[in-house]
Chain A
């Protein structure tokens, strides 16, 4: 059973901000929220991780509301090269049985 729910696909244009929301209603107290990006013919790549409130790095921002039942990945000013599949995962990294379970992901298409 998938632990997360995301839109199957999204379209955007170069220069726009893209927000991808992920639902994780059954998130556990110790779970972190992690987003991965996957380009065709490549393995997924870690983008950002957070537990609560807001996290920002050089690539993206992650917004997590107080109830933590959802999270939003924000990509500022996307370019064509941001066209990829984005996966939201939740899990407790400190759990010895922790393993990454991928949902369907969101296929982002950035148009010129």
Chain B
């Protein structure tokens, strides 16, 4: 099973600023995924981060707002740009281990004030 380290675990940010969330995996994985989970809600996929190519964004999410980096097979970052209170949420990264399901980080709890 993959072990995922996600940082920071939580942050309180001023509106208009940006926050970069890091996701480190203990093994090489092809695809990494970024999700958002608002309080009491299910997870919503933001984008798929592929090493060596642009991330693939889901409907309603754009690169300018959520730029993603994937410099190698064990690491990815998600930036939440120009934040507003509506961006307050939990952000999770995950990796897929085919045949064993997906593994998730503990999440980053973001509060924008």
Contact = CB atoms under 8 A, between A and B. Distances in A.
Contacts of A49: 101
A103 B43 CA distance: 8
Interface in B8-37: 31, 33, 35
9 contacts: A34-B101, A41-B109, A43-B105, A43-B106, A44-B94, A44-B104, A87-B43, A93-B96, A99-B31
Interface of A: 34, 36, 41-46, 49, 87, 93-94, 98-105
Interface in B56-113: 92, 94, 96, 98-107, 109
B48 A99 contact: yes
B94 A43 contact: yes
State the main secondary structure of chain B at its contact with A. strand
Nearest to A107: B40
Contacts of B98: 93-94
A66 B48 CA distance: 33
Given A100-B33, A100-B45, A101-B45, A43 B92 contact: yes
B93 to A, nearest CB: 8
Nearest to A104: B42
B42 A102 contact: yes
Interface residues of B, number: 23
A99 B101 contact: no
Given A43-B92, A46-B102, A102-B42, 15 more contacts: A34-B101, A41-B106, A42-B106, A42-B107, A43-B104, A43-B105, A44-B102, A45-B104, A46-B103, A87-B42, A94-B98, A99-B31, A100-B33, A100-B102, A103-B42
Contacts of A44: 43, 94, 102, 104
Contact of B33 (A93, A94, A99, A104): A99
Contact of B107 (A41, A45, A101, A105): A41
Which 6 A-B pairs give the minimum distances between C-beta atoms?
A43-B104, A46-B101, A102-B43, A102-B42, A93-B98, A43-B92
A87 B48 CA distance: 20
A41 B105 CA distance: 11
Contacts of A87: 42-43
